[in-house]
Amino acid sequence: MSCSKKKAPIPLQLPTRVEEPAPAKVNLTLHVTGRRADGYHQLDSLVVFADVGERLRAGATQGTSTLSVAGPLAEGVPGDGRNLILRSAELFDPRPAIAFDLWKTIPSAAGIGGGSSDAAAALRVVTALTGAPLPPLPEIAALGADIPVCLGQQPQRMRGIGEDLAPVPDLPCCALLLVNPGVAVPTGAVFDAMALRDNAPMVSRLPDWADLDAFTGWLSEQRNDMEPSARSLAPVTAEVIAALDAAPGCRLARMSGSGATCFGLFATLAEAEAAAGPLRRRAGWWVAAAPVARANDPQVTRATT
């Protein structure tokens, strides 16, 4: 019996630098269905991603991981261990040494997952640069309830405390107009101000939406249970929703997440862009129009040398 010579393993070809998108996360619905004994709230939410957001570039470095933050909304964003990007990298064992560069374009504490989407991008970056598998989902969810859903960057139903994710029926083509009035609304304060935390979930099986009319009709029957308390803390939120609702072509206006960012749903990007014009003239308001990413839409990940 002859034995063939064992071949040497092919070295893993890894990029030296990676760039990942960190798109805005939008809660089209957000039902708060209970509160666990450990204080975490139970949610039932239809989450989508807008084709607008931040960019995270990274490459290997020596020593410990670092983070630099630049961009139009970089002021006040921590570049130390308080940032979820660096905390996400610390979930890997062994800890990698990565130099992260974030281009910050989404308001902080805005209800559209800026920090969570950045953290998810950091997790994808580390796996691309090192070949290491993602950390266990419970550890990721413990770092931030929105991070697991942000990993996929596609429409999903998010339940539990953010760890229970499921695909949703195909969404019709549509666009979002996102508006933040320049007011930070801390999520914890919004939860504390809620009168009811034990609300009805969405139906167990989401419908198959034949078209945009069916989709927006169904959405109009759903809720964001955090919206009333967010309005009490930041009354300007009601002004934003009213402005969106009055825009020509707006099918639905609602708050996303814990606020204060609100969205208007439109049939086309052209309609959303047209509605954005007058709102961009409001002092201090951040305004962005973008298509909704649909299931299996390609996400851009670029590796450079």
115 three-state secondary structure? helix
Instruction: Respond yes or no: is residue 164 known to be catalytic.
Output: no
* Cα–Cα distance measured from residue 241 to residue 263, given in angstroms and rounded to the nearest whole number: 8
CB 85 within 8 A of CB 52: no
| Strands, E assignment, 71-149 | 98-103
Q: Per the residue annotation, which of 5, 25, 118, 208 is the catalytic one?
A: 25
**Separation in Å, CA 16 to CA 66, 98, 247:** 16, 10, 46
* Cα–Cα distance measured from residue 100 to residue 122, given in angstroms and rounded to the nearest whole number: 8
* Cα–Cα distance measured from residue 157 to residue 148, given in angstroms and rounded to the nearest whole number: 11
Q: Is 139 exposed, middle or buried (0-12, 13-18, 19+ CB in 10 A)?
A: exposed
Largest CA distance in the chain: 82
Instruction: Respond yes or no: is residue 25 known to be catalytic.
Output: yes
Helices and strands of the chain, counted as H and E runs: 9, 11
Nearest to 40 by CA among 136, 160, 138, 190: 160
* Cα–Cα distance measured from residue 226 to residue 62, given in angstroms and rounded to the nearest whole number: 43
Query: What does the CA dihedral 266, 270, 275, 280 come to, rounded to 10 degrees?
Result: 120
Buried b (16+ CB within 10 A) or exposed e, 222-251: bbbbbbbbbbebbebbbbbbebbeebebbb
Question: Which residue has 């990029």 as its token pair?
Answer: 15
Is the Cα dihedral 283, 103, 269, 153 positive or negative? negative
* Cα–Cα distance measured from residue 93 to residue 104, given in angstroms and rounded to the nearest whole number: 28
Q: Per the residue annotation, which of 44, 51, 118, 146 is the catalytic one?
A: 146
Catalogue the active-site residues.
25, 146
